């Protein structure tokens, strides 16, 4: 994710929402170095908590345990890092409100907002990655395993002696899956929208060229013949 990448905003929730107390998203990563990016607005100054529930399960929607160890990073409108949780509850007594996974006994869900984090009214960007796919100095600097840097879609397996494997637990090297579930809690959330990257310009041009060629050929093939048969 470089600074020049074109981004399209996919409004999974209407941007005309009034102030909300919580908004959630879930999905499935298909590789270790995928990212889920969210543009959020604060309607007024307030505390915020951003938390995943896919590693250990639970949460408001009773997510199922078994997902990869997640990482959360919050950026301000200038792209500077405001908060990051890259390790989950690995320190003694650090589980806090994170759930404990029934298989690994660990509490590696990501959590931003403890200690309390207050955001002023305005725009912010939150990014969900897998632990080990860490942010650069700014949002435009990308992440350590994205296509512009490590470019390793199986880094959790490659780094633990299991080359080619994905979603390997950083604690006991057990197999996890690609599911994720993230919640945004605040009394002053204006909106949260998920962002996806647009196709590379070359790919987009090739796609357009292919469509135009197809339409031209279809027109030629279907052109009516005038006059009688020879």
In a domain, 154, yes or no: yes
133 close to 143: Cβ distance less than 8 angstroms: yes
Range of the structural domain that residue 155 is part of: 7-199
CA-CA distances (angstroms) from residue 4 to 1, 102, 136, 141, 198?
8, 42, 15, 10, 11
In a domain, 70, yes or no: yes
Is 160's pLDDT higher than 80?
A: yes
pLDDT for position 197: 61
pLDDT digits (tens, 9 = 90+) for 75-112: 999 999 999 999 999 877 789 899 999 999 999 999 99
| Total domains present in the chain | 1
User: What's the CATH code of the domain at 85?
Assistant: 2.60.120.380
Largest interatomic CA distance in the chain: 90
pLDDT digits (tens, 9 = 90+) for 10-23: 444 333 334 567 99
Decide which of 228 and 157 is more confident. Answer: 157
pLDDT digits (tens, 9 = 90+) for 45-73: 999 999 999 999 999 999 999 999 999 99
Q: Is the pTM of this model over 0.85?
A: no
In a domain, 224, yes or no: no
């Amino acid at each position: 994710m470089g600074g020049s990448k074109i981004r399209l905003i996919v409004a999974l929730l209407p941007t005309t929402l009034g102030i909300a107390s919580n908004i959630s998203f879930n999905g499935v990563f298909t590789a270790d170095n995928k990212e889920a990016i969210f543009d959020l607005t604060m309607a007024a100054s307030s505390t915020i908590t951003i938390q995943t529930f896919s590693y250990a399960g639970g949460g408001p929607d009773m997510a199922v345990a078994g997902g990869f160890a997640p990482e959360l990073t919050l950026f301000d409108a200038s792209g500077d890092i405001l908060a990051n949780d890259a390790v989950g509850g690995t320190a003694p007594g650090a589980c806090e409100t994170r759930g404990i996974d029934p298989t690994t006994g660990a509490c590696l869900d990501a959590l931003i907002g403890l200690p309390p984090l207050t955001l002023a009214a305005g725009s912010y960007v939150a990014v969900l990655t897998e632990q080990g796919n860490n942010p650069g100095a700014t949002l435009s600097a990308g992440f350590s395993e994205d296509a512009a840097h490590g470019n390793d879609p199986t880094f959790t397996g490659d780094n633990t002696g299991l080359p080619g494997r994905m979603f390997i637990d950083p604690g006991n090297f057990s197999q996890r899956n690609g599911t994720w579930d993230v919640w945004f809690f605040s009394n002053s959330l204006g909106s949260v929208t998920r962002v996806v990257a647009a196709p590379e310009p070359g790919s987009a041009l090739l796609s357009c060229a292919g469509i135009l060629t197809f339409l031209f050929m279809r027109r030629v093939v279907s052109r009516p013949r005038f006059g009688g048969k020879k």
